[in-house]
Structure 1
């Protein structure tokens, strides 16, 4: 049986390590992927790690996860606060879903306080920096059943 966790990343996360390091740190998305792969492997899972700047593509990733994933970890970035399409797609996924943010969005400007995605998330992880991804993998390993 496959035990694959989809780790989905939204817009501008391809710029991690360069973009606003005072908020997001200096770790790159490539570094985060390597850490996720290692953490998941140590727990008997595989990771399908993806990033896109396009809302429709992120929705398509969720659709594919319905067939191929035992859980979804998603950092929707700006789509957290704006995308009903992404919310609706995530509602169709029956497995566990963890919403992830590198920064503590509640300690930031008020535009970052109202997550649409939290309405369908099993759990929310925020404010742990890049290490939050590994923590989310560990949490997902406890929640997910093999697909």
Structure 2
């Protein structure tokens, strides 16, 4: 049985490829979606991919994962540093979470250094561009294979 990983992306990530390419790279969200689908396929995972600029929509999608998905890979974008609601939703669904960021948030403005998600996450990957998504999905495959 294939297990599903929910890959979530927060605000402004729909602008990837044109938004601050020196910081976020030239790949588009469609490129990252395809990378995730290929990585999932290679690792026996089904990938459900979602991006929104509306916090309530993200919360609803997180809630929908409970009892249905094996884990959540999330780039909360700006909500990383601002949203207790996203943190609480992730904690409430009781699934393993991996936080991912394209840029190294620790080399950027001080307000980006704190994450509400990190304390409840299995791990955090930042600064590796889209490769961070691949690494996160590969780690989920590893986690799921090692479960009894």
Aligned to 2:16: 16
With normalisation by structure 2, the TM-score equals: 0.95
Encode CA deviations 1:38-82: one digit per residue, 9 max, x unaligned.
111111111000000011111111101113210100000000011
Q: Which has the higher contact order (CA 8 A, sep 6+)?
A: 1
Q: Which runs of at least 4 in structure 1 moved beyond 6 Å after TM superposition?
A: none
Aligned to 2:101: 101
Alignment of 1:51-62 (within 5 A): 51-62=51-62
Aligned to 1:88: 88
Are the counterparts in 2 of residues 96 and 143 from structure 1 also a CA contact under 8 Å? Answer: no
Structure 1: any 5+ residue segments left out of the alignment?
none
Give, in angstroms, the shift of residue 96 of structure 1: 1.2
Aligned to 1:136: 136
Give distance in 1, aligned partners of 2:73 and 2:143: 11
Give distance in 1, aligned partners of 2:119 and 2:136: 18
Structure 2: any 5+ residue segments left out of the alignment?
none
- SS of residue in 1 equivalent to 2:33: helix
CA RMSD of aligned residues (A): 1.2
Aligned to 1:63: 63
Are the counterparts in 1 of residues 2 and 44 from structure 2 also a CA contact under 8 Å? Answer: no
Give, in angstroms, the shift of residue 130 of structure 1: 1.2
Give distance in 2, aligned partners of 1:12 and 1:144: 31
Encode CA deviations 1:74-131: one digit per residue, 9 max, x unaligned.
0000000111111110011222100000001001110100101112111101010111
Give, in angstroms, the shift of residue 144 of structure 1: 3.2
- SS of residue in 1 equivalent to 2:63: helix
**1:27 aligned to 2:37?**
no
- SS of residue in 1 equivalent to 2:11: coil
